[in-house]
Chain A
Amino acid sequence: MSYAYLFKYIIIGDTGVGKSCLLLQFTDKRFQPVHDLTIGVEFGARMITIDSKQIKLQIWDTAGQEAFRSITRSYYRGAAGALLVYDITRRETFNHLTTWLDDARQHSNSNMVIMLIGNKSDLESRREVKKEEGEAFAREHGLVFMETSAKTAANVEEAFINTAKEIYEKIQEGVFDINNEANGIKIGPQHSPTNPSLPGATGSSGSQGGGCC
């Protein structure tokens, strides 16, 4: 239960690119082949380890809200990380990236880490967007990039974990004000807020048994 840090993420991108599936694959390690709106995985959480520290990820899926971007906007400010997802088999989802990015940049805190994700990499035969294009877009806008498949789980772990690493590094560099919860970062209950970068500070010896996740 105990964690060193808690990061809040949001997942954004056009409808149908696989946001909910990515979350489900990451938290439950399973894939839902049918587009089932009733599963309602709108929030998910999981513990990961970085630099031998326990980090809790809380992830909000903006499912079904693409039509109401203004609602999604309410989530930007309080998030430390965002996964911006497009579908490599549908070019228009790639074309919409700039709109999403503008929106995110405008409403988030400037340090929010954005990870660009080209999802459905398992559907090579139906690919419409080249990997190089994704890379180029990411380079141009200063994003981290990765192609994933929520179906085969390829790179899904990495996508979430690399985003966390990036945030973690920013904390080490002192870029993030970790005492301001509005940044989407919380310090674990047993961890001193004053010297967050102290390596291996008081470990993660939870008071409670039965770890979750």
Chain B
Amino acid sequence: MEYFRSGLKSVLGAPPPDQQITGAETVERLVSRVSTSTLLEDRRDACRALKALSKKYRVEVGAHSMDVLKQVLELDRSDCEIIGYCLDTLCNITSKEPFEDENESTLPVNINIGEQFTEMFIKNTENVALVLNFLEEYDFRVRWPAVKLLTSLLANKPKEIQDIILVSPMGVSKLMDLLSESREVIRNDALLLLINLTKSNANIQKIVAFENAFDRLFEVITSEGLTEGGIVVEDCLILMLNLLKNNTSNINFFNEGSYVQKIYPMLILPANIEEIGWSPQKVSNMHCVLQLIRTLVNPNNPVHIITACQKSIRNANILEALCNVLMASGVPADILTETINTVAEIIRGNLTNQEYFANVMAPSTPPRPAIVVLLLSMVNEKQPFQLRCAVLYCFECFVYKNEIGQGQIIQTLLPSSLGTADVTTGQLLCGGLFSNDSLSNWFSAVSLSHCLIDNPAQKEQLLRVMIATNLGTQAVSLLQQNVTYLQQSNRLQSKIGILMLLSMWLAQCQQAVQIFLNISGAMAFLTAQTSASEYDNNEELIQGICAFIMGLCVVFNDNSVQNYSKENLSHLIEKRVGIETYCKKLNEISRHEVYAKAAKQPQVLARHSSDLLLEFEFCKLFKSFEGVIINALGVQRDLHNGISELSLSEHENALLLQYKELIRDQDKKLQDLQKAFTNSQREKDMLKNELEELRQGNSQLNDQNTLLKAQLAANSNSIQTLDNVASPLVESISTAVPYISKNANEEEKQKLIQDLQETKEELDRLRKDQEDLLELLTDQDCKMNVLKNRLRELGEEVDDDSENGSNSENEL
């Protein structure tokens, strides 16, 4: 407020161009006309003029007219025209965006005027309720600007407006009714308003859904032509997304309410899609539909919700429709990518859906399984990076918790099935593993490692896989080839991919460890990497994973390879690497920023291909075996006398882990407490302010009280004097009356009676005044007491001089 006044003063005070003076003066004149004019027509004209000035002279209009505008909204609510002007004016002065012809040269650039005026307007929440009520007025001149004003207020103060609307009964339903508006411009603006209103507020999202939002929105979408429709369709979908994102309750409702089926028609491509092509709007709409589906089956949702949604999505033939999109030609790459990601999450961990997907055939010659066609893209350098990432994700989801699927893929690599006519998934992955494209290497390694997750049988099967490296040379085992590749290659991404594959392979598989230890040079390579003291450019990751693999070889060691028995290996680590160094290397992994990124979600997310280093399932594996490895090395304590963590006894180690856990817990508690503390602090500040306000109110009331007392005293005095004057008069009159009548001096008597009358009246008036004042005084006293009590509640000492008031009352 103050800000504006001073801002305004500077506008008026500075030696300004004439025009500005006139503008400000005009505004003032108009404001006074609105507030004083008794004729509706005059007020209406003035409001119309204010509206016209409210862009150019926004500060002036805002600073001067806020109160009269509110007054009009309340008192003239039956006149749609004037209300329309008012709402429009408010809309302009609270607009978040500056106007082109706005006169703002004299204002500091950084104050957001719209926000300041919004704050002034919503300070009294009744004002917002008032605007909400205008939504019920059918007249276009009122309803439309009411929607726009709410949008503007919301843009400036989202949190506050959300809270106000949330607690105003029927607030949300009034907005929801607008979705059935026949005047499209209102409906569309209401849609935008709802999109902003539902952002990150679960309670509003729930109410909007309860108010049949999904029915309304699907009605609009259908009437607008589904995904062929315009931006309104996109807006409807965005609103739905808002309602569902991270809102389990609404997702459940959406699924239970059979809305999933209504998505299906939006996924059907017209038969002539290749002729008509994909308009930008169609692409946007389709994106939203895909997001909508993904929101339902997002891996972060509770498992039972995911499973239920995956089932209804399949039953509604949506999986089928999406697979058709995958196989259609002419689909833009980004839509294709997102479709693959969507299919991925629909089948993830759901056996029925995975089986369905396994049987989808691509219309190629010869017909190939869709999964093969997809993998072809993954290991093809010419395909867009994001598309390749999506295929990896889809493949991962296809084998996730799918023992049969994992087995089938590995099966295609075994001698028995080699020599089949067409290319297989396994061949593609093995080919990709050692191709010249390091990204293909990485994708293929990760894909293969996912076929091994929690599947010891396949880890053993994979040991049987032989590959021919060069024409004519003898075939070597896949495991051997991996080691050879590691020794020879200097490509970071490829090496990390293969090391992650080895980790997955060796973990929980003693047979694989045994064969690995027998490969000549394997251990030497790992030892050299782990003990290296220098590295550049993410090589610490390679060294870390090498250390990890060494650890796995200790943990899953059946002591069948004499040189590398559990004990010998531990010894090797201690002597050649050093326990300190070893732990440091291991730590490099989880400390690395790519670890934190990859561990966040199953989907591989990266901007650039070089960002792809660690992967989600590897991070999980690392997390679950890091402690185990350290423990296992700790058992060999007698082998050395270091003072590192590893020199601790098993018991001590367990204790250490316990303490680590404890510290983590306490860390979390500390954070929680800090948060709580900040909240309390804020609350305290609020209470302090309130207290201050109350104090001020109190002192004002005290002043008023004193004033009233003084007036009271003065009145009592004058009453006394009047009484003094009156009684002798009355006396003299009573003695005079007989005399007068005797003398029959009518005139004299008349005059005296009149005098008497007047005196009496004066007396009465004063008495009444006194009574009024007394009443007021009592009133004030009550208020004072309330305030004092409130102050006491807030823990404030209050001096108890209220007796004065009651005393003086008693005296009278």
Q: Does any Cβ of B come within 8 Å of A92's Cβ?
A: no
**In the complex where A60-B210, A74-B172, A78-B211 touch, is A68 in contact with B315 (Cβ < 8 A)?**
no
Task: Collect the chain B residues with CB atoms within 8 Å of residue A43's CB.
Answer: 206, 249-250, 252-253, 256
Q: Which residues of A contact B169 (CB under 8 A)?
A: 70, 73-74, 107
> Does B166 reach chain A (CB closer than 8 Å)?
yes
Q: Does B257 contact A (CB under 8 A)?
A: yes
Residue A45 lies at the interface, judged by CB distance under 8 Å to chain B = yes
Interface size class of A (residues with CB under 8 A): 20 to 34
Q: Tell me the bound Cα distance from A106 to B256 in angstroms.
A: 30
Are B210's CB and A209's CB within 8 A? no
Asked whether B798 is an interface residue with its Cβ less than 8 Å from the other chain, the reply is no
Asked whether A77 lies within 8 Å of B253 as measured between CB atoms, the reply is no
Confirm or deny: A208 has a beta carbon within 8 angstroms of a beta carbon on chain B. yes
- Flag if B256 contacts A40 (CB, 8 Å): no
Residues of B within 8 A of A212 (CB): 256, 312
* CB of A58 within 8 Å of the partner chain: yes
Q: Contact between A42 and B206 (Cβ–Cβ < 8 Å)?
A: yes
Task: Report chain B residues within 8 Å CB of A70.
Answer: 166-169
B256-A58 in contact (CB<8A):
yes
Q: Does A75 contact B (CB under 8 A)?
A: yes
The number of inter-chain residue pairs (CB within 8 angstroms) is 64
CB contact between A74 and one of B207, B248, B252, B261 (< 8 Å): that residue = B207
A207 to B776, alpha carbons, bound, how many Å? 75
Among A42, A44, A58, A77, residue most surrounded by chain B Cβ atoms (within 10 Å): A42
Once the chains bind, are B256 and A181 in contact (CB under 8 Å)?
A: no
Chain A contacts with B in 162-212, Cβ cutoff 8 A: 181-182, 208-210, 212
Using a Cβ–Cβ cut-off of 8 Å, how many residues does chain B contribute to the interface with A? 28
Distance, CA A45 to CA B253, complexed state (A)? 8
Compute how far the CA of A65 lies from the CA of B166 in the bound complex, rounded to whole angstroms.
12
Is A1 interfacial (CB 8 A cutoff)?
yes
A71 within 8 Å of B (CB atoms): yes
Contact call A68/B167, Cβ cutoff below 8 A: yes
Give residues of chain A (20-54) contacting chain B, Cβ–Cβ below 8 Å. Answer: 40, 42-45
Among B168, B210, B253, B316, which residue has its beta carbon within 8 angstroms of that of A78? B210
Given contacts A70-B169, A73-B169, contact A208 B249 (CB under 8 A): no
A-chain residues with CB within 8 Å of residue B261 when the two chains form the complex: 208
Interface residues of B in 257-271 (CB under 8 A from A): 257-258, 261
Give the residue among B167, B168, B210 with the most A Cβ atoms within 10 A.
B210
Contact with A along B158-170 (1 / 0, CB 8 A): 0000000011111
Check A71–B167 contact: CB distance below 8 A. Answer: yes
Nearest A residue to B172, CB-CB: A74
Cβ-closest chain B residue relative to A63: B249
Q: How many whole Å from A17's CB to the nearest CB in chain B?
A: 20
| Alpha-carbon distance between A212 and B252 when the two chains are bound, in angstroms | 12
In the assembled complex, the CB of A112 is this many whole angstroms from the nearest CB of chain B, namely 14
For chain B residues 156-204, which have a beta carbon within 8 Å of chain A?
166-173, 203
Query: What is the bound-complex CA distance between A73 and B252, given in angstroms?
Result: 22
Query: Given A209-B315, A210-B315 in contact, is the A74-B249 Cβ separation under 8 Å?
Result: no
Q: Which residues of B contact A65 (CB under 8 A)?
A: 203
The reply on B212 being an interface residue by CB < 8 A is yes
B257 near A42 (CB under 8 angstroms)?
no
B282: interface (CB < 8 Å):
no
Taken residue by residue from 773 to 803, chain B's Cβ proximity to chain A (1 for < 8 Å, 0 otherwise) reads as 0000000000000000000000000000000
| Complex alpha-carbon distance, A45 and B257, angstroms | 9
Contacting pair B170 A42 (CB below 8 A): no
Q: Given the complex, which residues of B lie within 8 Å of A74, measured CB to CB?
A: 166, 169-173, 207, 210
**Residue of B170, B203, B252 touching A71 (CB-CB under 8 A):** B203
Smallest distance from the beta carbon of A10 to chain B beta carbons, Å?
Answer: 9
**Which of B172, B215, B252 is in CB contact (< 8 Å) with A44?**
B252
- In the bound complex, residues from chain A placing their C-beta under 8 Å from that of B252 are 43-45
Contact digits for B290-317, partner A, Cβ 8 Å, 1 yes 0 no: 0000000000000000000001100110
- Contact of A77 (CB < 8 Å), options: B173, B256, B258: B173
Q: How far is the CA of A208 from the CA of B415 in the complex (A)?
A: 45
Annotate A69-86 by CB proximity to B: 1 below 8 A, 0 otherwise: 011011101100000000
Distance of B206 from chain A, by nearest CB (Å): 7
Min CB distance B249 to A, Å, is 4
Task: Write out the residue numbers on chain A whose beta carbons fall within 8 Å of the beta carbon of B170.
Answer: 74, 77
- Cα(A71)–Cα(B203), bound, Å: 8
Complex: how many Å from CA A40 to CA B166? Answer: 20
Report whether B315 and A42 are in contact in the complex, using a CB–CB cutoff of 8 Å: no
Residue of B nearest to A8 (CB): B210
A57 → chain B, closest Cβ, in Å? 10
Option from B203, B250, B256 in Cβ contact (under 8 Å) with A45: B256
Interface centre among A74, A77, A208 (most CB of B within 10 A): A74
| Pairs across A and B, CB under 8 Å, 8 listed | A42-B248, A58-B253, A60-B206, A68-B167, A68-B203, A71-B207, A74-B171, A182-B173
What is the interface of chain A, defined by CB distance below 8 A to chain B?
A: 1, 8, 40, 42-45, 58, 60, 65, 68, 70-71, 73-75, 77-78, 107, 181-182, 208-210, 212
Residues of B within 8 A of A (CB): 166-173, 203, 206-207, 210-212, 215, 248-250, 252-253, 256-258, 261, 311-312, 315-316
Those 4 A-B pairs whose CB atoms lie nearest each other, nearest first: A70-B167, A42-B249, A45-B256, A43-B249
